[in-house]
Amino acid sequence: MASMLGVEERAAALLRELIAERGTTAVELASRLGLEPAAVERLLGGREPLELTRLERVLEVLGASPAAFFARLYGGEPAPAGGSAPAAGGAAPAAPDEPITRREVEEVLGTLRSMIDGMVRMLDAEREAAEPRREP
């Protein structure tokens, strides 16, 4: 299975491609998301975890479906202009009627686990910040 860092880097790169394809900029995306441009730059640079809820919102703003995003991320979508370039991970894209491999399922599950872990950390931090401090 590919390292999670590799998957997150590929996801960030794919988001940068989608932004360019849509003719927008990271600053415009930040504005539409209600975020600071620096936060979007960290996300697109792979320096901030790509949590599932944030990814879903970014894709919504870009007008892209999560299914299409993950298909493209894992090589399930044909290359532009009818070519058959290798997927980001180096493997040739699977034909649409071919079953997904165990390795691909494990990669997706690993990515989802990473995203869920990030959300749990975020929720824990929010809960901790909301709890009143107790004096010893």
Please state the pTM of the whole predicted model: 0.54
Q: How many whole angstroms separate alpha carbon 127 and alpha carbon 13?
A: 32
pLDDT band at 93 (very low <50, low <70, confident <90, very high): very low
User: Domain 4-130: what homologous superfamily?
Assistant: lambda repressor-like DNA-binding domains (1.10.260.40)
Domain residue ranges in the chain: 4-130
- Measuring CA to CA, how many Å separate 103 from each of 15, 19, 32, 53? 23, 28, 35, 24
Question: In sequence order, which ranges of 1-136 are alpha helices (DSSP H)?
Answer: 4-21, 26-33, 37-44, 52-62, 66-73, 102-130
pLDDT, tens digit, for every residue of 20-54?
999 999 999 999 999 999 999 998 988 888 888 88
